Amino acid sequence: MTHAHITSWLITIVLFFVAVSLLRSGSSKAKIVQMVLRLFYILTIITGLLLLHSIASISILYIVKTIAGLWLIGAMEMVLISMKKEKSAKAAWIQWIIAFALALFLGLSLPLGFDVF
């Protein structure tokens, strides 16, 4: 299940940047990419919840990681919505960077992740 979760969030991040680039260029295909991206949000959340459910003893760090992951998905949506409405997305990008760094660090440092840190 770990590999499914990693695959789903990697595809989610790639689709996010594709959607950002399409919105910047004003392409009409941005809406299609956003809908596929929302499908991958759901897949990422489901695989994350299944991973959380499979842990025998849940520490507080897993809960913080879950909250950071949900915050990251919310920040992605805030960036895309701000760009679509042609408003400043600076605050949303800052949130995205912080949430991404936190979720990535916790995901890689906790026992279910890869031994990077």
Mean pLDDT rounded to a whole number for the chain: 92
Q: Give yes or no for residue 116 having a pLDDT over 70.
A: no
Rg from Cα positions in the chain: 15
Average pLDDT over residues 3-26: 95
Q: What pLDDT score does 91 carry?
A: 96
The 10s digit of each residue's pLDDT in 63-108 is 999 999 999 999 999 999 999 999 999 999 999 999 999 999 998 8
Q: Of residues 23 and 55, which shows the higher confidence score?
A: 23
Q: Is the pLDDT of residue 114 over 70?
A: no
Given this model, what pLDDT does residue 58 score? 80
Residue 25: its pLDDT value, please?
95
- pLDDT for residue 15 is more than 60: yes
Query: What per-residue confidence (pLDDT) applies to 117?
Result: 53
